[in-house]
Amino acid sequence: MTIPTSTLETWSNQGATQTPKSLREKIERKLKASDSKIEKKNQLEIYLQGSYRNSTNIYGNSDVDVVVQCDATFSSDVTALDPHETAIYNRAFNDATYTWDDFKSEVIETLKDSFGSDKVDVGNKSIKIDDGNYEADVVPCFEYRKYTSFGESYADREYIKGIKFYTTNERREVVNFPKVHYTKGAAKNQRVNNRYKPAIRVFKNIKKKLIEKEMITKEQVPSYFIENLLYNAPDEHYDEISISTRVYNVLKWLQDNKYDMSDFVCQNEQVYVFGYSQEQWNEYDAREFISQAINLWNEW
């Protein structure tokens, strides 16, 4: 027996939307207030990322990911530019004087003043706020620009927008592209008549059920990688009215391609899903998830 259609339809529904929005707005008010310790608070962009931003959150999700991006300083990738463009770039900009350490310290100090030191914990990649009612992972970052062209005029300069920050423990550089991730996901969802994101929510609930049954571990299958994995399934597998047909099509496609995933890209189309960095997944865990999802489907 397969997973009933009624269960799949329930799983396809989105979780809470108002609480994440309110929480982001509260954090923004604190960081941009007149008594904020942030020197460049007039150059902040504060927005949701992750499942709440991408409308792929399911019931029971708790942590809200909030990006605190400062555009006063930016980092660049100019490897795609030719020597002439690189020379123009080098003439155009000076080294930044507002540093990552300055900014992160100001964010931490402001959050502790606003929410209480006992409610704020500095982790390796984010700053956790937990007051017993809600939890937020705040990610301070600078703008990151992946240049594709660079001319003398602003009109001749193009780049892909990302973010960059450093881990607390190792001071390791982390680059991500949350805005592009959102845009690409929204475009795919629109192409398949708004049937892509509900399918993602179904697969996240499948993951949740597999963990409950101890068929996989939470650490094996981060939800972020499920979304990136599913992005690679062709659009035609999602453009089905029946949720059962949709999930079956995607499961079968993943099964048929589970030994040919090395060129799978993340939803931002800037990074491969699988690799050796700490921000990438491994194919063994992905294949295990696919196999166990099929077992759950077949043995319901």
What confidence tens digit (pLDDT) does each residue in 119-152 have? 999 999 999 998 777 789 999 999 999 999 999 9
Q: What is the pTM of this model?
A: 0.94
| 3-state SS, residue 72 | strand
- Provide the pLDDT for residue 43: 95
Run of H or E including 147: strand 135-149
List, for the chain, all residue ranges whose pLDDT scores fall below the cut of 70: 61-62
The class of domain 18-176 in CATH terms is alpha beta
Closest residue by Cα to residue 56 from 172, 225, 219? 225
What pLDDT shows up at residue 209? 96
At 221 the three-state DSSP class reads coil
Say how far apart CA 149 and CA 273 lie, in whole Å. 26
Q: Residue 62's pLDDT is what?
A: 66
Q: Output the pLDDT for position 134.
A: 77
175: buried, middle or exposed (CB in 10 Å: 19+, 13-18, 0-12)?
middle
Q: Whole-angstrom Cα distance, residue 190 to residue 204?
A: 20
Listed by start position, the domains of the chain span 18-176, 181-298
Tokens representing 25 are 């707005």
